[in-house]
Amino acid sequence: MATENQDSIQIAADKYRSFLYEEVHNTEWRHGAPPIYDDVNKLFEQGRTKEWPKGSLEEVVQNALKSWEMELSHKTRLEDFRTINPEKFKLIVNGREGLSAEETLKVGSYNALLKSSMPEEYKYYKADEESFDSSHDVFRMALPRGFAWEVISVYSGPPLIAFKFRHWGYFEGPFKGHAPTGDLLQFYGIGILKVDESLRAEDVEIYYDPSELFAGLLKGPLISGSEHTDASTHKCPFNV
């Protein structure tokens, strides 16, 4: 007979993400149970530009990255991760110093990807001032239907996988004092993924232009009374 926990895991089964539905009794989930991806899966299926054949290298890479993001966002212990080699893992974004698995898990995916070396007056998103939870809250509010991700091209197979990706969502909630516009926000990037013989990630390198995202997020008018309405303290380099 299935337990209540097993039932919840079965309900959370996801065709794009591995290790959600397996009956791993000791997995520690950040919110107490496996996540449900129905909304972002719908956004993905409606907005994707590529539909890869089942079992193709492109589909394998796409689902592997979705599974890694799921674990990073929803599991709290590295020992429960199945998609990475924790001892060797490094996340490198736009050539910055790599983050270890422990460091990446601590700060979260948004803070890891959006950390910037720009002068303080140009930072509308300050990763150093955001926690794991607050960073996810910011983007969950701004993009309530989710932030979908797809592989556009794969240039090489394992063990060193190079690929192009697209990330998109709809700006339908406030962002840092800016009112939503309802517009489609998207950006493209390049990734390099080094995997071991079990296809666990050892190195993940991501290269992209954050201005493609922030230009859209900062396009909305400032909300009256917001702490971000003082334009003298936040100059926007992306309004071009």
Compute the average pLDDT of residues 157-180. 97
- Asked whether the predicted pLDDT for residue 233 surpasses 50, the reply is no
Look at residues 148, 220, 151 and name the one whose alpha carbon lies nearest to residue 182.
220
- Asked whether the predicted pLDDT for residue 10 surpasses 50, the reply is no
- Name the token pair of 177: 């004092």
- Asked whether the predicted pLDDT for residue 182 surpasses 50, the reply is yes
183: phi then psi, degrees, rounded to nearest 5 = -75, 155
Q: What is the pLDDT of residue 123?
A: 78
Look at residues 163, 159, 164 and name the one whose alpha carbon lies nearest to residue 195.
159
Look at residues 133, 104, 94, 47 and name the one whose alpha carbon lies nearest to residue 211.
94
Least confident of 32-36, 69-73, 186-190, 234-238: 234-238
Asked if omega into 144 is within 30° of 0 (cis), the reply is no
- Asked whether the predicted pLDDT for residue 156 surpasses 90, the reply is yes
Higher pLDDT, 83 or 20: 83
Least confident of 6-15, 36-45, 94-103: 6-15
- Asked whether the predicted pLDDT for residue 124 surpasses 90, the reply is no
d(CA 181, CA 174): 9
- Asked whether the predicted pLDDT for residue 20 surpasses 90, the reply is no
State the pLDDT confidence band at 232, using cuts at 50, 70 and 90.
very low
- Asked whether the predicted pLDDT for residue 108 surpasses 80, the reply is yes
- Asked whether the predicted pLDDT for residue 62 surpasses 70, the reply is yes
The number of beta carbons lying within 10 Å of the beta carbon of residue 188 is: 13
The DSSP result for 10-31, as a single string, is HHT--TT-TTSSS--TT--BTT
Write down the residue that tokens 């009256």 correspond to. 224
Enter the DSSP assignment of 86. T
All residues at 6 or more sequence positions from 87 whose CB lies less than 8 Å from its CB, including other chains: none
d(CA 47, CA 168): 8
State the pLDDT confidence band at 228, using cuts at 50, 70 and 90.
low
Query: pLDDT tens digit string along 203-223?
Result: 999 999 999 999 999 999 999
Compute the average pLDDT of residues 13-17. 86
Whether the CB-CB separation of 28 and 76 falls below 8 Å is answered with yes
pTM of the model: 0.86
Compute the average pLDDT of residues 43-57. 97
Least confident of 76-80, 155-159, 172-176, 232-236: 232-236
Query: pLDDT tens digit string along 64-100?
Result: 999 999 999 999 999 999 999 999 999 999 999 999 9
- Asked whether the predicted pLDDT for residue 231 surpasses 60, the reply is no
Q: Which long-range contacts (CB under 8 A, 24 or more apart) does 12-17 make?
A: 12/36, 14/41, 14/70, 15/41, 16/41, 16/44, 16/62, 16/63, 16/66, 16/67, 17/63, 17/66, 17/67, 17/70
